Amino acid sequence: MESDRAQLAARLADGIEALQLALPDDAQARLIDYIDLLARWNRAYNLTAVRDPPDMIPRHLLDSLAVLPFLRGATLADLGSGAGLPGIPLAIARPAMQVTLIDSNGKKARFLREAVRTLPLPNVRVEQLRAQDASGHFDCITARAFAGLAEMLAWGGHLLARGGRWLALKGRVEPGELAVPPGFRVLAVHPLNVPGITGARNLIEVVPAR
């Protein structure tokens, strides 16, 4: 319903203002289009445990958009993208960035391709692969805690370009979680204050050691 969409848009606008982000003029409407599509597909495909669109605004959109200030370069790979998080919100917010969504799950890859086609997202491509089987080099790599940090880097670290940034979204971060494989170092752990989310959110920024 139009009134429901207006409420979602208002909640999103408030969150973007709280995060002090600047987005393209059409970005907020396109982000709501994405939530509409995700909610419809989720009823049949169970893409996310978050069922209600109002809850998707903070837990999916704002949580993803909080990464924006840390993006660098022209290319981004989103590993274990799932329903397209954080890759699709970031692609909408940064249309000049070339974004690759990587996920090995067939039904999730189908949803991602449909999102790219219908939203539309000309700066996005989808690869149905395991991270360890992907190729190329990317200025930024995002990963929404689909595994431990050391595991993620072991599987996908070969994709990080020289001078690139690995941006891992995590909840609470214990000191032992910051151990990384040889060839990488943790540059910083950034606490994120995401509107509408009460639990701890952190962004671990990793760079090549060389």
How crowded is residue 26: how many other Cβ atoms within 10 Å of its Cβ? 11
CATH of the domain at 51: 3.40.50.150
Amino acid occupying residue 167: L
Please report, for residues 6, 7, 28, the alpha-carbon distance to residue 2 in angstroms, rounded to integers and kept in the order given.
Answer: 6, 9, 15
Q: What is the pTM of this model?
A: 0.96
Average pLDDT over the chain, rounded to whole?
95
Classify residue 160 by burial, with Cβ atoms within 10 Å: 0-12, 13-18, 19+.
buried
Q: Is the pLDDT of residue 3 over 70?
A: no
| Contact (Cβ atoms closer than 8 angstroms) between residue 141 and residue 160 | yes
Q: Of all residues in the chain, what percent carry a pLDDT higher than 70?
A: 98
Over residues 33-38, the mean pLDDT reads 97
| Contact (Cβ atoms closer than 8 angstroms) between residue 139 and residue 96 | no
- Provide the domain limits for residue 155: 2-208
Amino acid occupying residue 29: A
| Higher per-residue confidence, 99 vs 172 | 99
For 137-189, how does the pLDDT look when each residue is reduced to its tens digit (9 = 90+)? 999 999 986 678 999 999 999 999 999 999 999 999 988 889 999 999 999 99
As a whole number of angstroms, the distance between CA 192 and CA 92 comes to 20
| Higher per-residue confidence, 2 vs 209 | 209
Close Cβ partners of 54 (under 8 Å, ≥ 6 residues apart): 7, 8, 11
Q: How many domains does the chain have?
A: 1
Classify residue 71 by its DSSP letter.
Answer: -
pLDDT at 175: 81
